[in-house]
Amino acid sequence: MNDLLLRALRSEPVPRPPVWYMRQAGRYLPEYHTVRNSLPGFLALCRSPKDAAEVTLQPLRRFKLDASIVFNDILVPPAAMGMDLEFIKGKGPVFHDPIRDPSDMKRLKMPTVAGDMPHVLDTIAILTEQLDVPLFGFAGAPFTLAAYMIEGGGSRDFLHVKRFMWQHPKAFQELLTRLADICGIYLQAQIDAGCAAVQLFDTWAGALDPTAYRRFALPAARRALANVTGAPRLYFTKDSSCFLPWLKETGADAFAIDWRTDMLRARHVLGDTPVMGNLDPGALQGPPELIRTKVRKIIQQAGPTGHIFNLGHGVGPTTPIDGVHAMVDAVREWDWNKL
């Protein structure tokens, strides 16, 4: 087993940072489309352990990566709670029955992983038999899940969730608490099934002002992670720069840093806590030498211990494969022992 990632998460000396990247299995790979197009929909792919394992393995066949992440979607738990989820081409995820009033929460059930989301455990079982690198499990953080459930999908301004949050703060807190408990159970189940680390994605928490983040999103993330043991726990939020001083309050063991956050500042604020990131995914559209220069700068800023190289958000569907190769090769060429 390649344990470079786990050593970096323990802040042990490593010759170079381990490298993997968010959404590394997905739409930018032609072989992904072959699998995806053979199935009736995106959720069908997520719920087919054989196919989900296949697309999980695809990027590792192309690139020399130091970790994998199980192919799934953060919205699987809300669907398991009874919400009507559909992925629509050109639009993305849509909940046809969004939560717009506290009374809507009465129809949400408390799911079990084995009973309502068994596919992710079956996918992990397939992968752990084949992988020689650590496998990440993941979940959407409570606030981010609530945002999708209330908005009914993605959003530019998140007005529905903010209206619900401020008009019905008690009910909103109840929803976050329920989601936090589900997320914690879900992450723990993935560790118990064989994942070597887990990540909590709070993608939309950056839509909040600092006061709202500390009141709602942060305590919910902390509650979710508090019940997860046995493997490193990472936390990611996009647009996290203004939240850096409070990230440690989540209780996470390491933090994924978005590309808008300066790595030097993140290191200064977070101290010795391991960090992951944080190349702008858009930089992969550039020429190889530009990518190498950006990669080297991030590695130098992050320092020789406690750093995992990654993008500052997920790889985009139009990303050139040559750009990914340039990034991965630049990380693998690095050698702290020769500096």
Q: Which residues of the chain have pLDDT under 70?
A: none
pLDDT at 240: 87
Nearest Cα to Cα of residue 321 among 61, 139, 15: 61
Q: Among residues 21, 32, 51, 73, which one is catalytic?
A: 73
Task: Please indicate whether residue 100 is annotated as part of the active site.
Answer: no
Q: Give Cα separations from 218 to 70, 134, 147, 202, 271 (angstroms).
A: 25, 27, 14, 9, 19
Give tens-digit pLDDT for 264-290.
999 999 999 999 999 999 999 999 999
- Among the options 3, 7, 10, 36, which is catalytic? 36
Exposed/middle/buried for residue 207 (C-beta within 10 Å: 0-12, 13-18, 19+): buried
Residues linked to residue 87 through DSSP beta bridges, in sequence order: 93
Collect all residues with Cβ–Cβ distance below 8 Å to 236 and sequence separation of at least 6. 22, 199, 200, 201, 202, 203, 255, 256, 258, 276
Q: Identify whether 51 is a catalytic site residue.
A: no
Q: Which two tokens stand for residue 14?
A: 């490593």
Residue 28 catalytic? no
Instruction: Please say if 267 is a catalytic residue.
Output: no
Closest residue by Cα to residue 179 from 115, 226, 223: 223
- Say what the pLDDT of residue 188 is: 98
Q: In the prediction, which pLDDT does 217 show?
A: 98
Catalytic one among 7, 27, 100, 332?
A: 27
Catalytic residue among 21, 148, 186, 213: 148
What does the chain come to in residues? 339
pLDDT score recorded for residue 90:
85
Lookup: tokens for 258 = 């978005």
Beta strands in the chain (DSSP E): 68-69, 85-88, 92-95, 135-140, 197-201, 233-236, 254-256, 275-276, 307-308
Strands 68-69 and 135-140: parallel
Q: Give the active site residue among 16, 23, 47, 233.
A: 23
Domains and CATH numbers, the chain: 55-62+70-256 (3.20.20.210)
Rounded Cα gap, residues 180 and 258, in angstroms:
23
3-state class (DSSP) for residue 46: helix
148 vs 324: CA distance, rounded Å: 30
Active-site residue flag, 36: yes
Report the DSSP pairing between strands 135-140 and 275-276: unpaired
* Residue 339: per-residue pLDDT: 82
| pTM of this structure | 0.97
